[in-house]
């Protein structure tokens, strides 16, 4: 099952670091005509982990970004002894605001308030509401449809459906893929990959932005239910000098 791929031990960043520079993928460049791009996320932090550098580059180029947050991430710590689901959601929304500020991104957010860990069960509603927000945008960023987290995949599928209906290109960012996949993994459509080189200042801003997700990168408390969701091994995948987008 997909969840097992996320729970299982993952691929070390050192393996990716040796492989990624050998790939002759085209460089991703935004169309100069773009003025408005929608950035879709299943949970607060997806967009920054997978495409924070892209967002910073687009914002610096004067493109207006609009965040579409499917959930507020209330499900990251079931059984927490420290935060209620509502408290966790409030914290994660605030963390997103702080992270986007680190990236120099001012993105009005549409928060759909759909259930964390339940997006595949309300995919029609997700698609309809996402389509409404994407209308009028020149491009869409969304989690990859094969990312192995059911919520990520649902948002990816909804974005692809919205893009197809509206004739808007959808670029998909992997998140958990970097954990469960391996170099040359046949489950990943590498032939569609584009690389996004991050200048040192953008990489540093992304590092600062990721650190803002305190509820995810650090334990909430000593109990097992309050452990950090994103381990240092996972976080290492998001401290690179590049991001990768799939079509
Ligand atoms: Zn997520």
H-helix segments, the chain: 2-7, 13-19, 46-60, 85-102, 123-134, 150-166, 177-180, 200-211, 214-217, 232-235
Q: How far is the CA of 175 from the centre of ligand 1 (A)?
A: 8
C-alpha distances in angstroms, 229 versus 39, 69, 217, 243?
Answer: 22, 19, 6, 21
- Residues shown for the chain: 247
pLDDT, tens digit, for every residue of 35-50? 999 999 999 999 999 9
What is the distance in A from the centroid of ligand 1 to the CA of 52? 14
Q: Which residues pair with 141 in a beta bridge?
A: 39, 171
Q: Is 179 part of any domain? A: yes
Q: What are phi and psi of 45, to 5 degrees?
A: 120, -25
Instruction: Please indicate, yes or no, if residue 16 is contained in any of the structural domains.
Output: no
Ligand 1 centre and the CA of 46: distance in Å? 5
- Report the separation in Å between the CA atom of 75 and the middle of ligand 1, taken as the mean of its atom positions: 10
Q: Could you tell me if residue 160 is inside a domain?
A: yes
Going from the Cα of 223 to the center of ligand 1, the distance in angstroms, rounded, reads: 22
Domain that holds residue 89: 34-245
With a cut of 50, say whether residue 1 has pLDDT above it. no
Whether 19 is covered by a domain: the verdict is no
Domains held by the chain: number: 1
Q: Do the domain assignments include residue 9? A: no
Is residue 198's pLDDT more than 80? yes
Residue 3 pLDDT greater than 80, yes or no = no
Q: Tell me, what's the pLDDT at 2?
A: 54
pLDDT digits (tens, 9 = 90+) for 70-83: 999 999 999 999 99
Query: Average pLDDT of 1-14?
Result: 85
Q: How far is the CA of 210 from the centre of ligand 1 (A)?
A: 13
Q: How many CA atoms lie within 13 A of 163 on its CB side?
A: 21
pLDDT (0 to 100) of residue 191: 98
Task: State the DSSP H helix or E strand holding residue 66, giving kind and residue range, or none if neither.
Answer: strand 64-69
Q: Name the DSSP letter for residue 145.
A: T
Distance 24 CA to ligand 1 centre (A): 28
The rounded percent of the chain whose pLDDT value lies above 70 is: 99
- Evaluate whether 133 touches 158 at the Cβ level (below 8 Å): no
Residue 41's φ and ψ, nearest 5 degrees, are -140, 145
d(CA 171, CA 215): 28
Q: What's the CATH number where 87 sits? A: 3.40.50.10320
By the 8 A CB rule, do 76 and 43 touch?
yes
Q: How far is the CA of 98 from the centre of ligand 1 (A)?
A: 17
Distance 33 CA to ligand 1 centre (A): 30
Share the mean pLDDT of the chain. 97
Distance from Cα 62 to the centre of ligand 1, integer Å: 27
The CA distance from 141 to 163, in Å, is 10
Q: Are 126 and 114 in contact (CB under 8 A)?
A: yes
Question: pLDDT per residue over 104-142, tens digit each?
Answer: 999 999 999 999 999 999 999 999 999 999 999 999 999
- 84 in a structural domain: yes
Asked if the structure places residue 14 within a domain, the reply is no
Does a structural domain hold residue 18?
Answer: no
């Amino acid at each position: 099952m997909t969840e097992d791929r996320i729970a299982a031990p993952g691929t070390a960043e050192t393996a990716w670091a040796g492989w990624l520079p050998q790939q002759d993928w085209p460089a991703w460049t935004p169309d100069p005509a773009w003025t408005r791009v929608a950035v879709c996320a299943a949970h607060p932090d997806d967009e920054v982990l997978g495409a924070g550098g892209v967002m910073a580059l687009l914002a610096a180029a004067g493109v207006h970004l609009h965040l579409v947050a499917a959930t507020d991430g209330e499900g990251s710590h079931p059984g927490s002894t420290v935060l209620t689901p509502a408290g966790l959601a409030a914290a994660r929304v605030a963390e997103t605001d702080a992270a986007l500020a680190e990236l120099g991104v001012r993105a009005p957010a549409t928060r759909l308030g759909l259930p964390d860990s339940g997006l595949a069960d309300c995919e029609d509603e997700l698609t309809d509401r996402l389509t409404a927000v994407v209308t009028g945008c020149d491009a869409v960023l969304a989690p990859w449809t094969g990312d192995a987290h059911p919520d990520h995949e649902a948002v990816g599928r909804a974005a692809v459906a919205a893009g197809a209906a509206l004739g808007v290109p959808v670029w998909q960012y992997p998140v958990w893929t970097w954990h469960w996949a391996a170099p040359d993994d046949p489950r990943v459509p590498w032939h569609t990959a584009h690389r996004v080189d991050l200048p040192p200042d953008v990489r540093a801003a992304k590092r600062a932005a990721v650190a803002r997700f305190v509820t995810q990168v650090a334990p909430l408390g000593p109990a097992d239910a309050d452990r950090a969701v994103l381990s240092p091994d996972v976080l290492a995948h998001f401290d690179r000098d590049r991001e990768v987008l799939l079509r």
